[in-house]
Amino acid sequence: MSVFQEFTPISAMQRDYRGTLAKTAKGPVILALRGKPEAVLMSASDYERFVLMEVELKRLRRIMQADRDFAEMRAGNYTELLP
């Protein structure tokens, strides 16, 4: 199953790049080559939101790992480092 809903052929973008760029106002545009997804074109604001979401996801993963590590320590599963 593909997460992509609609493809725009790369050749259509070559013929009408302004029309293809205008489509990015509604969301990312999947560019297809020979009927298969090849690239994704998105507005700068969508890309910025994507990057910020990725940064936040990494932060949340670090928090989750720290929670797991603290739970292990509370359960007594740790090794003491001696000087």
Question: Is residue 31 domain-shared with residue 48, that is, in the same domain?
Answer: no
Alpha helices in the chain (DSSP H): 10-15, 17-23, 44-74
Residues in the chain: 83
Question: Is residue 48 domain-shared with residue 35, that is, in the same domain?
Answer: no
Domain membership flag for residue 81: no
pLDDT digits (tens, 9 = 90+) for 49-65: 999 999 999 999 999 99
Structural domain boundaries enclosing 60: 43-75
pLDDT digits (tens, 9 = 90+) for 67-81: 999 999 999 988 887
For 18, the token pair is 């302004």
Q: For the whole model, what pTM was predicted?
A: 0.67
Question: Is residue 29 domain-shared with residue 55, that is, in the same domain?
Answer: no
Domain membership flag for residue 53: yes
Question: Is residue 52 domain-shared with residue 26, that is, in the same domain?
Answer: no
CA dist 73 and 78 (Å) reads 6
